[in-house]
Structure 1
Amino acid sequence: MTVVNPCVSCGACCAYFRVSFYWAESELGGGTVPDELTSQVNPYLSCMKGTESRNGCRCVSLSGDIGQAVACTMYEKRPSPCREFEYSGYLGIHNPDCDKARAHHGLAPLPVIHIAPAA
């Protein structure tokens, strides 16, 4: 059974939350996140440009239309919050933050699918 990742047709989290992370995840600190795509939050934190505030929040690396078809233009270099955020229902686990972001954009919550363990 092939499960299609619903994130490729969503993008709500990338246009709702501030994506902040330890500054050393950026290239300047030896990490992979391109410096030109980040803003400094404080001496210890950076965030993805576009997510600095909730008003008009949208990560500069998000392409496409939310709820239709989206992609991260720097997927392989994305920071830890993006790597760690799971869509609601992934491995049968509910993520209320995913639901909150989707609701903000008028999208229904994703169903939690309980997968039976392999025999």
Structure 2
Amino acid sequence: MSDAYDRDNPDLNPCLSCGACCVQYRVSFYWGECDDAGGCVPAALTEQLTPHRRAMRGTLVPPVRCVALTGEVTKHIGCSIYDQRPSPCREFSVWEEDGTPNPRCTQARARIGLPELAPIHANASDDERRVN
């Protein structure tokens, strides 16, 4: 479901006016995802967590804010490395496969004062997926 909405259209992508996950969760991943190991995540934006794990800078200790997050949370945000983002970011979906809101997304949104997203249908049209 992570690609069930248009990532560039603020009317269809609730992430463009949220950013809750980027200011709530640690983003840790296998070190091989970094560009200095043959992957695509810019190593300069990460820090070593363990010998085999890296984390995005800004996500290890509170207050959390991923170094790649741009813009103002709850207004208009983006990811400066969207096409190079690590696997936890690629795998984090706003909605579950059945169209219900992801509980971790709901929890992160609540922490910054945003309401839970409405469920969508997996086969919904663009108009049905619009978040008001």
- The letter of the residue matching 2:23 is A
Contact 2:18–2:75 (8 Å) recurs in 1: yes
Residue identity in the other structure for 2:80: T
Residue 64 (structure 1) aligned with residue 71 (structure 2): yes
Distance 2:96 2:33 in 1: 28
Structure 2: stretches of 5+ with no match in the other structure: 1-5, 126-132
1:10 equivalent in structure 2:
18
1:104 matched to which residue of 2?
111
- Does residue 114 (structure 1) correspond to residue 82 (structure 2)? The answer is no
Partner of residue 82 from structure 2, selected from 75, 84, 88: 75
Of 23, 39, 42, the match for 1:31: 39
2:59 matches 1:51? yes
The one-letter code of the counterpart of 1:97 is: R
Which portions of structure 1, spanning 4 or more consecutive aligned residues, are displaced by more than 3 angstroms? Answer: 88-91, 115-118
1:90 is displaced (CA, Å) by 6.8
The AA in structure 1 aligned to 2:104 is D
Query: Cα deviation per residue 1:74-102 (whole Å; 9 max; x = unaligned)?
Result: 11100001011011367613310001111
TM-score, structure 2 normalization: 0.80
- Length-normalised TM-score, structure 1: 0.88
Identity among equivalent positions (%) equals 47
Aligned partners of 2:76, 2:120: CA distance in 1, in Å?
22
Q: Report the alpha carbon displacement of residue 58 of structure 1 after superposing the two structures with TM.
A: 0.4
The answer on whether the counterparts of 1:15 and 1:57 sit within 8 Å (CA) in structure 2 is yes
> Is the contact made by 2:56 and 2:66 (CA closer than 8 Å) also made in structure 1?
yes
| Contact 1:16-1:101 within 8 A present in 2 as well | yes
1:15 and 1:25, CA in 2 relative to 1: closer, same or farther beyond 3 A? Answer: same
Q: Are residue 86 (structure 1) and residue 93 (structure 2) matched?
A: yes
8 A contact 2:97–2:122 mirrored in 1: no
Matched pairs, number: 116
User: Which position in structure 2 is the counterpart of 1:22?
Assistant: 30
